Amino acid sequence: MTGAAARRALVTGASSGIGEATARKLASEGYRVALLARSGAELDRVRASLPRKDEHLSLVCDLRDDAALAKALETVRERFGALDLVVQNAGRGYLARVEQTEPALVRETLELNVAAVISLARLSLPLLRGGVDPVMVLVSSIVGRRGIPGQAVYAASKAALNSLGEALRIEWAEHRIAVCTLDVGLTRTPFFANQPNPSALPGPNLAGADDPARVAQAIWELDRAPQPEVWLSAKWRLLAIASLLAPRLADRLLARRMGGGWRAPTR
Ligand SMILES: NC(=O)c1ccc[n+]([C@@H]2O[C@H](COP(=O)([O-])OP(=O)(O)OC[C@H]3O[C@@H](n4cnc5c(N)ncnc54)[C@H](OP(=O)(O)O)[C@@H]3O)[C@@H](O)[C@H]2O)c1
């Protein structure tokens, strides 16, 4: 980035997977990056491997703790002055049939995947308002537009995120902040190993999964040319449309595609 000032980004969940790949991509494009996650050691590992490592920032913070988040954002304000890009990426899955779910784990999942996203939106608004061509990217999932058996809680959390994106992009139009939702497909990260899976349900086959660098590229492209919603899987986009227009057909297609004994409803 010669000539222009470096863009200033905050990436949540930057210690692993898609967030780590995004921090790498942005740093390689000349951004200054604030990396946020709970694990300080992992954040330092990622930051130490970035170009111009001293320009970036590690923020050790549990996003479910509003006071800790406010403090982390104060550090960003002191170091960066403002933010041009916020990537709301941190999140986790929950592999369980609804009747097997534990209330505490349900709440934790919704707290991180939904409530913490709302808190970060609220608390980062003043920093984004001071930014240049500000953008917020919400890292959602293809299952946010089509519920999926065995992942009902996770899918519901991402559906909430998609709804939030639709509302927020109109609310923040007056601030000229672009809000973009990215519907990510199956991606090779520690996500599946990290999710609670009390009954050891089989996880997805990651053979054809995307590389996190592909998602990072899409996030960077959204910052350059914001769009309301981008899908990283055309097939799932069709399935989501079918789910609105012909839900019985979509249920049959999904149950067949998933295998594993799932059956489409017959009544
Ligand atoms: N992988 C996929 O196939 C896939 C598909 C669609 C969408 N997505 C979405 O992509 C996003 C990133 O997932 P990933 O695949 O990269 O998973 P991942 O490798 O498990 O990374 C999750 C990140 O979130 C952070 N995190 C978890 N709990 C946190 C908390 N309470 N406070 C702060 N940070 C927290 C983790 O760091 P710490 O543990 O150090 O806090 C980690 O950096 C998620 O929103 C996920 O839903 C993933």
- The reply to whether 207 and 89 lie within a common domain is yes
244 found inside a domain: yes
- The reply to whether 259 and 162 lie within a common domain is no
- The reply to whether 129 and 90 lie within a common domain is yes
**pLDDT tens series, the chain, 267 aa:** 445 789 999 999 999 999 999 999 999 999 999 999 999 999 999 999 999 999 999 999 999 999 999 999 999 999 999 999 999 999 999 999 999 999 999 999 999 999 999 999 999 999 999 999 999 999 999 999 999 999 999 999 999 999 999 999 999 999 999 999 999 999 999 999 999 999 899 888 899 999 999 999 999 999 999 999 999 999 999 999 999 999 999 999 999 999 888 999 999
3 found inside a domain: no
- The reply to whether 78 and 210 lie within a common domain is yes
- The reply to whether 38 and 16 lie within a common domain is yes
Burial class (CB in 10 A: 0-12, 13-18, 19+), 196: middle
CA 144-154-59 angle, to 5 degrees, is: 100
- The reply to whether 216 and 247 lie within a common domain is no
- The reply to whether 57 and 189 lie within a common domain is yes
262 found inside a domain: yes
- The reply to whether 93 and 136 lie within a common domain is yes
147 found inside a domain: yes
Mutate to test the pocket of ligand 1, among 63, 189, 232 (most ligand atoms within 8 A of CB): 189
- The reply to whether 191 and 255 lie within a common domain is no
Q: What is the pLDDT of residue 133?
A: 98
- For residue 181 and ligand 1, the question of a CB distance below 6 A is answered with no
Ligand 1 centroid to residue 13 C-alpha, Å: 5
2 found inside a domain: no
Mutate to test the pocket of ligand 1, among 11, 15, 18 (most ligand atoms within 8 A of CB): 18
- For residue 59 and ligand 1, the question of a CB distance below 6 A is answered with no
- The tally of domains found in the chain comes to 2
- The reply to whether 219 and 267 lie within a common domain is no
Ligand 1 centroid to residue 102 C-alpha, Å: 20
Of the residues 154, 172, 191, 231, which is catalytic?
154
- The reply to whether 212 and 255 lie within a common domain is no
Q: What is the pLDDT of residue 3?
A: 58
1 found inside a domain: no
Give a three-class secondary structure readout of the chain.
CCCCCCCEEEEECCCCHHHHHHHHHHHHCCCEEEEEECCHHHHHHHHHCCCCHHHCEEEECCCCCHHHHHHHHHHHHHHHCCCCEEEECCCCCCCECHHHCCHHHHHHHHHHHHHHHHHHHHHHHHHHHCCCCCEEEEEEEHHHCCCCCCEHHHHHHHHHHHHHHHHHHHHHHHHCCEEEEEEECCECCCHHHHCCCCCCCCCCCCCCCECHHHHHHHHHHHHHCCCCEEECCHHHHHHHHHHHHCHHHHHHHHHHHHCCCCCCCCC
Active site residue 154: yes
CATH code (residue 175)? 3.40.50.720
Q: Is the pTM of this model over 0.75?
A: yes
Ligand 1 centroid to residue 195 C-alpha, Å: 9
Domain that holds residue 260: 236-267
- The reply to whether 137 and 262 lie within a common domain is no
Q: What is the pLDDT of residue 259?
A: 86
Ligand 1 centroid to residue 134 C-alpha, Å: 23
212 found inside a domain: yes
